[in-house]
Chain A
Amino acid sequence: MRYIFKTHHRQDLQLFRDGFEASWFLLLGAALLVAPFVLGNYALSLLSFIFIYSIVGFGLMLLTGFTGQMSLGHAAFFAVGAYTEAVLQARGWPFVASAPSAILLAAAAGIVIGLPALRLTGIYLAIATMSFNFIVEEALARWESVTGGNAGMAVPRIKLVTESLPAGVPMYMLCLVCVVAVGLVVRNLLRSPSGRAFIAIRDSEVSAQSMGVNLAYYKTRSFAISAGITGLAGALYAHQIKFLGPDQFTLLVSVEFLMMVVIGGMGSLHGAVLGAVFMIGLPELISRVKVLLPSAIADQTGLNAVVFGVLTVLFVLFEPLGLFGRWVKIRTWFSLFPAYRKGMFKRQKSYAKSERLA
């Protein structure tokens, strides 16, 4: 275990803890920049999807993992972003104008759903966002003049400023730029006064309020930012998938997003990315392993759902900090070797905290 001896306040503002950490991130960045020249088209599109899901993960993590507000409606924000982008690009808007519009529109939707959320906590909020998801999904299916209804709509090739980009490497690079930008924004946001207010609200609304945090303002803010980020992911998703239909934005998608951040690790940005890798990687892994399995198991359509559902349950039961928590434990084991104790990360037992009076 290395201890950082801080001698200057600038060290607190640094993006990375120390040079060691920075070099790992640089290595990752370099690998991702080289990837398009090494990997095939399929692997590249998988990586692009991982980036897009990571952006969703950042957005949802901000809301659920850091502000403590559960949302079962993120597929709706995702849909707002995707459809806005698709419609505007079809009218000839460039990405530099249509993506901000998608972000703003999704953020506006976030504010709308955030307003009743101010009076709601826990389960009520989950139900309100769930209902919102249903309404958006139905609106997409019925507003045929704009969204193409259940038949769906094709998304034109992405136009960044003036020229339309070919799919593949440029799209990959755009996703990479977006995920790095969003990651930096969220990381900086979390150490700003807003971010600290979010975390205070998550840990205890009552104490946050008594410390002077305006709950209404910060909850709406968190919703808006989270929805906006998800809208950006939706805009990229529209171009990556090339065809949009209402069935891509159902409640189950919202549930999958939530599973993604839970499996990745609640309350850490690394967790959002790990969750995205897991979410895209696991179906891929399953389809690879399927070939080796007897056909009685391999031909089952429900296999992915079962694996995801069971893994979510197992993670909540045995590894509540998710993949990132597991990684932290492994890292600690090595850095403390041989002094690691079994109970180091044990959860404290507590009495059930009641939301009810009496």
Chain B
Amino acid sequence: MELVQVAFSGIAIGCIYGLVALGFVLIYKATEVVNFAQGDVMMVGGFVAYTFFSIWHLPFGLAVLATVAVLATCGALFERFVLRHILGQPAFAAVMVTIGTGYALRGLVTMVPGWGTETRLLKMPFSEALLRGGGVSIAMDHIAIIVTTAVLCASLYLLFKKTRVGIAMQAASQNQLAAFYVGIPVQVMHTLIWGIAAGIAAVAGILLAPITFVHNNMGLIALNAFPAAVVGGFGSIPGALVGGLIIGVVESMAGYLLPEGFKAIAPHVVVLLVLIVKPSGIFSAMRRKKV
């Protein structure tokens, strides 16, 4: 029974990894930039939600919506005013920009009055509730994570399959030049994608907040989302989620079954194995470029 509980919390944390990995993958697919700041954006999301909900006492639903809106706007502005400048430069330049941004964000939040270096508690209306049944008790927080992830993924699926703008985004990420020729404003699509990815990161931050609390190094947890994205094959949206779940469950199981210390490195051992055995990941979308 305990194993089921461990597996369940693994699935919940795996959903978080999956959401962060989803952010990487969306951006990577559309712009070929890997956003190393995704975890830090998630951390900022946690802090913004904390401000709205715990300091300003907005209603919970409104606080969540406002957080997502603020973060999505920031993500879009970042693309428009920073990354647009280095469009067409080698990928390394863009990666360094995101690394630098993440590094700066981590310091910046400690300077905001009311945020600081302390660990903050973001109390959800449903926190502390437990769901019991058949000898297993599951925290409501975990169920909220899983349900939200499922809803979010379903709506993203609908966005990309059914709406005009979603299909335009897909086209832009499959072939920029061809999309540009058929009249899709590729740069606007990039801005939108960054906005969506930042919004997803904000949701992940809010969901993660009851589990790890809100603090300025919260984003480091997202580093486990890189293994998730790689295991799923960088560039595949369902792959990111499946990869996240795999990493989450492996990590929890390693913490439960193996000696202390293995929990922290399990995701990284898995990713190195995957990279050695099958570098393209499980859901490979990438092939070697031909000349």
Task: Tell me, rounded to whole Å, the shortest Cβ–Cβ distance linking B282 to chain A.
Answer: 14
Q: Is B276 an interface residue (CB 8 A)?
A: yes
Q: How far is the CB of B41 from chain A (nearest CB, A)?
A: 14
B275 lies within 8 A of A305 (CB) = no
Given A126-B95, A131-B268, CB of A313 within 8 Å of CB of B101: yes
Measured CA separation A255–B230 after assembly (Å):
20
Residue pairs across A and B with CB atoms within 8 Å: the count is 164
**What is the CB-to-nearest-CB distance from A119 to chain B, in angstroms, rounded to a whole number?**
5
Listed stretches B84-92, B122-130, B196-204; interface member: B84-92
The interface residues of chain B lying within 8 Å CB-to-CB of A70 are 92, 95
Residue of A nearest to B113 (CB): A296
Interface size on B, residues (CB 8 A): 60
Is B156 an interface residue, CB under 8 A from the partner? no
- Cβ of A170 under 8 Å from chain B: no
Give A135 to B266 CA distance when docked, in angstroms: 9
Give the residues in chain B near A309, CB-CB below 8 Å.
Answer: 100-107
How many chain A residues touch the partner (CB < 8 A)? 54
On whether the beta carbons of B96 and A262 are closer than 8 Å, the reply is yes
Per the 8 Å Cβ criterion, residues 36-86 of B in contact with A are 82, 85-86
The answer to whether A357 and B288 touch (CB under 8 A), given A70-B95, A302-B111, is: yes
A316 with B268: CB separation less than 8 A: no
CB neighbours (8 Å) of A320 from chain B are: 89, 93
A301 touches B (CB below 8 Å): yes
Contacts of A262 in B (CB 8 A): 96
Q: Does B155 contact A (CB under 8 A)?
A: no
Q: Does A208 contact B (CB under 8 A)?
A: no
Knowing A127-B227, A131-B227, the reply to whether A305 touches B271 (Cβ < 8 A) is: no
Tell me the nearest residue of chain B to A261, going by C-beta: B96
Q: Does B175 contact A (CB under 8 A)?
A: yes
A-B contact pairs, 11 of them (CB 8 A): A130-B268, A131-B226, A258-B99, A301-B117, A302-B106, A312-B100, A313-B82, A349-B88, A352-B32, A356-B286, A356-B289
Chain B residues packing against A (C-beta within 8 Å): 28, 32, 34, 82, 85-93, 95-97, 99-111, 117, 174-177, 216, 220, 223, 226-227, 230, 234-235, 260-261, 264-265, 267-269, 271-272, 275-276, 279, 286-291
